[in-house]
Amino acid sequence: MYEKIVPPDTGSKITFKDGEPIVPDNPIVPFIRGDGTGVDIWPAAQKVFDAAIQTAYGGKRQISWFKIYAGDEACDRYGTYQYLPEDTLQAIKEYGIAIKGPLTTPVGGGIRSLNVALRQIHDLYACVRPCKYYPGTPSPHKNPEKLDVIVYRENTEDIYLGIEWPQGSEIAAKLIDLLNKELIPATPEHGKKQIPLDSGIGIKPISKTGSQRLVRRAIQHAMRLPQHKQMVTLVHKGNIMKYTEGAFRDWGYEIATTEFRTSCVTERESWILSNKEKNPDITLEENARQIEPGYDALTAEKQAAICREVENVLQTIWETHGLGQWKEMVMVNDRIADSIFQQLQTRPDEYSILATMNLNGDYLSDAAAAIVGGLGMGPGANIGDTCAIFEATHGTAPKHAGLDRINPGSVILSGVMMLEFMGWQEAADLIKKGIGKAISSQQVTYDLARMMTPPVETPLKCSEFAEAIIKYFN
Ligand code: NAP
């Protein structure tokens, strides 16, 4: 069924149910090596993945890698301008989870960006970028270890839909005419505003469906994190753009309250409710106290520190938020986009998952990556309901290609995300441990070496860095 690729003989397919992967012990995982430095980083990364899986599961689990093609390598195999062959699209769809190195953005041939095309074709609506500090990594910040956030960026609409018309074009002129003469005058809140006639026009659609599926995934992810990281912050500029950015916030809160509030019914809550039925004369709060010893342990001093307004609010949400279990629930809040940029610098430890529209998330994920040591170490994933692609976030860095010197950290950490998404946490943890120890013992590639204080004189090659990571599994 494929034109020029052959799946491995062993292994089986990953499938998806309700947006989550079902992973066999020997899954087939397609990979795109990538252009430029892809020739260096992919072999190094694959070695690390295989070693971690072998160490973690002793042969009980393994990945059968399936080589597929995109970018320059695809053109060599499939012909001119065949940057994204049908074989590749079909294999990703069929096998569910894929991983890729960087791809050159083609010049000519009518393709805007292969990465954007892959996301749109497979409806990979959530771009996920974790930004966490590995001790020893050079950083421009004094306390980079305080930042540990995951950016969930909407991937299919907002500016990524790419609908715009240039200044002076016939369609731009038509649109401006329609807006100035009919649509703006028909909207009283716009008053006498008019669009300058020499404008280019871009469209920024934000849909309820697109916003809610993104926020849903962000909340589901937060629920899997340790208690103190169970927070989702909706990032928006709703004070200026009410019906796009502001609506994203409102739809985010809507899904948090309609889909997730009831999911907090636990054994403890059921017990409290059934006890209340048996003892209708005692308050719900009294019931909760009976099974929550820590509740009474609050000192008078601490209780006094809760101001009256807060206490009143807590009382009013006592029942709807799980009879006091709001303390254990995912906290959903929101921040204006410019404010979150400041706060990531000044109070980074107050944030965990940031759910954003496309453009805000573009800026925010790069800014957060810079705090923890730059793009060379930043992993990424694009996730949809039926497949997911994990990818290095940097480009092809052509001047370093084939020299075995570039940092493979980004694609290796993308593999860590992939293993976590597959539920293979033990293998993922081994790799994180290996990377952490390699960096803290200053066994790093040139990019990190030159920024360390004092600079590391003899940096490792790309392949040597992979070997160091494997060495530090134990
Ligand atoms: P780039 O390839 O990311 O490289 C810019 C610089 O970033 C490199 O010269 C290098 O800096 C540093 N760098 C990149 N990867 C690194 C790594 N693994 N380890 C350490 N340092 C690394 O950006 P570009 O030169 O603007 O783009 C080149 C091509 O890649 C373009 O065709 C672009 O469209 C494409 N691109 C693809 C993706 C993707 O596939 N996801 C993303 C971005 C760009 P020093 O030389 O100073 O060490």
pLDDT digits (tens, 9 = 90+) for 367-379: 999 898 876 788 9
Report, as an integer, the average pLDDT of 231-254: 96
Predicted confidence at residue 297, as pLDDT, reads 36
Give kind and range of the element (H or E) at residue 401: none
Predicted confidence at residue 38, as pLDDT, reads 97
Predicted confidence at residue 278, as pLDDT, reads 67
Predicted confidence at residue 226, as pLDDT, reads 87
User: Tens digit of pLDDT for each residue in 295-313?
Assistant: 443 333 334 455 666 667 7
Compute CA distances 331 → 149, 334, 388, 398, whole Å: 14, 10, 26, 43
Q: How confident is the model at residue 238 (pLDDT cuts 50, 70, 90)?
A: very high
> In the beta sheet, which residues pair with residue 356?
153
Predicted confidence at residue 267, as pLDDT, reads 52
| 8 A C-beta contact, residue 128 and residue 369 | no
User: Tens digit of pLDDT for each residue in 30-79?
Assistant: 999 999 999 999 999 999 999 999 999 999 999 999 999 999 999 999 99
Q: Which two tokens stand for residue 409?
A: 């950290």
125, 133, 160, 446: which is the annotated catalytic residue?
Answer: 160
| 8 A C-beta contact, residue 445 and residue 405 | yes
362, 404, 437, 446: which is the annotated catalytic residue?
Answer: 362
How many CB atoms within 10 Å of residue 225? 15
Which residues, judged by CB distance below 6 Å to any ligand atom, belong to the binding site of ligand 1?
102-105, 115, 376, 391, 394-397, 399, 406-407, 410, 447
Catalytic site residue 237?
A: yes
If one residue of 396, 412, 445 were mutated to test the ligand 1 pocket, choosing by the most ligand atoms within 8 A of its CB, it would be 396
If one residue of 375, 382, 394, 403 were mutated to test the ligand 1 pocket, choosing by the most ligand atoms within 8 A of its CB, it would be 394
| 8 A C-beta contact, residue 193 and residue 184 | yes
Percentage of the chain exceeding pLDDT 70: 87
Q: Which two tokens stand for residue 249?
A: 């916030």
| C-alpha to C-alpha distance for 260 and 330, rounded to whole angstroms | 9
Q: Which residues have C-beta within 8 Å of that of residue 400, sequence separation ≥ 6? A: 36, 37, 40, 406
Which amino acid would we find at residue 55?
A: T
Instruction: Measure CA of the first residue to CA of the last residue in the chain; give whole Å.
Output: 43
Catalytic site residue 81?
A: no
Does position 292 have pLDDT exceeding 60, yes or no? no
| C-alpha to C-alpha distance for 232 and 255, rounded to whole angstroms | 12
Alpha carbon of 380 to ligand 1 centroid (Å): 15
Does position 452 have pLDDT exceeding 80, yes or no? yes
Predicted confidence at residue 45, as pLDDT, reads 98
Does position 342 have pLDDT exceeding 60, yes or no? yes
| 8 A C-beta contact, residue 133 and residue 139 | yes
User: Tens digit of pLDDT for each residue in 142-174?
Assistant: 999 999 999 999 999 998 888 999 999 999 999
> In the beta sheet, which residues pair with residue 64?
28
Q: Which of 338, 298, 353, 358 is nearest to 119 (CA)?
A: 358
Atom of ligand 1 nearest to the CA of 407: 19
Give kind and range of the element (H or E) at residue 132: strand 126-132
Alpha carbon of 404 to ligand 1 centroid (Å): 15
| C-alpha to C-alpha distance for 89 and 213, rounded to whole angstroms | 23
Report, as an integer, the average pLDDT of 257-272: 64
Mean pLDDT of the chain: 89
Q: Which of 11, 5, 141, 121 is nearest to 64 (CA)?
A: 11
Report, as an integer, the average pLDDT of 216-221: 94
Q: Which two tokens stand for residue 380?
A: 């990424």
In terms of C-beta density within 10 A (0-12 exposed, 13-18 middle, 19 or more buried), how is residue 175 classed?
Answer: middle
| 8 A C-beta contact, residue 30 and residue 91 | yes
Among protein residues, the one whose CA lies closest to atom 44 of ligand 1: 395
Predicted confidence at residue 318, as pLDDT, reads 76
User: In the chain, count of helices (H) and strands (E)?
Assistant: 18, 14
| C-alpha to C-alpha distance for 40 and 409, rounded to whole angstroms | 12
Atom of ligand 1 nearest to the CA of 409: 18
Predicted confidence at residue 269, as pLDDT, reads 59
132, 237, 432, 437: which is the annotated catalytic residue?
Answer: 237
| 8 A C-beta contact, residue 149 and residue 155 | no
Among protein residues, the one whose CA lies closest to atom 9 of ligand 1: 397
Phi-psi map region of 168: left, alpha, beta (phi>0 left; psi -120 to 50 alpha)? left
Does position 246 have pLDDT exceeding 90, yes or no? yes
Among protein residues, the one whose CA lies closest to atom 24 of ligand 1: 395
Alpha carbon of 116 to ligand 1 centroid (Å): 16
Predicted confidence at residue 291, as pLDDT, reads 52
| C-alpha to C-alpha distance for 126 and 359, rounded to whole angstroms | 13
Report, as an integer, the average pLDDT of 242-248: 97
Compute CA distances 334 → 45, 252, 261, 343, whole Å: 37, 9, 17, 12
Catalytic site residue 78?
A: no
Among protein residues, the one whose CA lies closest to atom 31 of ligand 1: 104
| Residue 26 vs residue 286, higher pLDDT | 26
| C-alpha to C-alpha distance for 415 and 388, rounded to whole angstroms | 12
Q: Which of 63-72, 181-190, 253-262 has the lowest mean pLDDT?
A: 253-262
Alpha carbon of 22 to ligand 1 centroid (Å): 34
Alpha carbon of 117 to ligand 1 centroid (Å): 19
Catalytic site residue 447?
A: no
Alpha carbon of 33 to ligand 1 centroid (Å): 15
Long-range contacts for 279-286 (Cβ within 8 Å, ≥24 apart)?
284/318, 284/319, 284/323, 285/318, 285/324
Alpha carbon of 394 to ligand 1 centroid (Å): 5
Predicted confidence at residue 299, as pLDDT, reads 35
